[in-house]
Amino acid sequence: MPDDQLLTTAEVAHRLRIKPETIYAYVSRGLLARVKVPGERISRFRLADVERLAARTQATRPDRDTAATMRTATTLIAYGRLHYRGVDAAKLAPVTPFEEIARWLWTGERRGESFVAAPESIDGARRASAHLPEHARTFDRLLVVVALAAAMDPLRFDLAPATVAALAPGLLATMVDALPLAGHAAADDSLAARLWPRLTREPATAEGLRALNAALVLLADHDLAASTIAVRVAASTRANPYAAVLAGLGALDGPLHGAVGGTVHRMIESALRDGVAAAIADSLRTGGLPGFGHPLYPDGDPRAAALLDLVTPLPAPGELRRAVDALISTAVRRGSRPNVDFALAVLAHTSGMGPGAAEVIFAIARTAGWIAHIIEEYAQPSNRFRWSSGYVGPPPMSV
């Protein structure tokens, strides 16, 4: 990102996590300089100046704010883009293996070796999840798989960064390889290629695998989402990495977080069956239009744009294309753009995946980011999250 890039007042406020009026207090004190752009009446600010001020103000915050900020060097959402260690994730997604991005998040090094798990771990996880009832979701199997992987790892209580980074590839490989096959396994040994036949009976294509790999990359981390906060709180108690991942999976399972993709999938099904107008009406009646809008991306979710660019060329029935286009155009007229949940549901429909596929892709991808946050949290003081409750009940009474 060039140092001479100019930011709007809203972008500066988001980056510094302050109100717009505070910006002008910084200007009046000489801490931040305004830049006049010919032909524009609004104020602009240099990116380099804003970053210097951010480093200064965030470094001098009192210790009591540490729990609230949960500082991270892994992911930044700013200027309408998602960055992994300073690199635009949407630019990485179409051309970079998920395995390479995962290692980049964990260690800051770019290596793309395959992720492999011990055969006994995969076999044990398969046998354990086989006891689930027939109606169990694929996501339910992930909970069992992670718990089983923990039980089989005698080094799970070794919290050294190198040990955690070393166990992560095996955990992700087990999460994928222990799931039952729905289709024919691909010859490719990438995680995306191994996940594909566990989500759909459709044969894998190079274009389809590229889109699935991109989805994994784009969902690998998203700063301090609710599930990531759960992971970091668990890690702060020095829960082992598997237990911290299970905490994240619990939060991710919420219908307003990782499970949104399934809701969007069913909305698209409704649009195909009953028409776009009826599908939108039903969604609005039950609380809103899932898969559109994101508070961190007022100008549109760049993850959705990147993934839809890869999904659009894939073969799809004409009625699906028309329904997707109509949903997007209707939402845009209402002032909302597609987010990554919508793009993920479109990928699932295009590839013959069921409504549970989006949540599984999300969970496997986000586990990579959680591992990075776990490593960061282990380097912080333990048990550092203890907020005041804001008690509003009756006053204490003498007995």
Give the separation between CA 150 and CA 334, rounded to whole angstroms. 47
Q: Any idea what DSSP says for residue 292?
A: B
32 burial via Cβ count (<10 Å: 0-12, 13-18, 19+): buried
**Residue tagged 């998203």 (tokens):** 222
Alpha-helical (H) ranges within the chain are 9-16, 20-28, 47-59, 66-69, 89-92, 98-107, 119-129, 138-151, 161-177, 191-195, 206-218, 226-236, 241-252, 260-274, 276-285, 302-311, 318-333, 340-350, 357-378
Catalytic one among 14, 83, 222, 294? 294
226 burial via Cβ count (<10 Å: 0-12, 13-18, 19+): middle
At position 182, the amino acid (one-letter code) is A
3-state secondary structure (DSSP) of residue 247 = helix
294 is catalytic: yes
Residue 82 phi, psi dihedral angles, 5° rounding: -105, 130
Q: Any idea what DSSP says for residue 84?
A: E
Q: Any idea what DSSP says for residue 276?
A: H
341 is catalytic: yes
Catalytic one among 49, 341, 349, 373? 341
The answer to whether the beta carbons of residues 217 and 122 sit under 8 Å apart is no
Any idea which residues carry the catalytic annotation? Answer: 294, 341
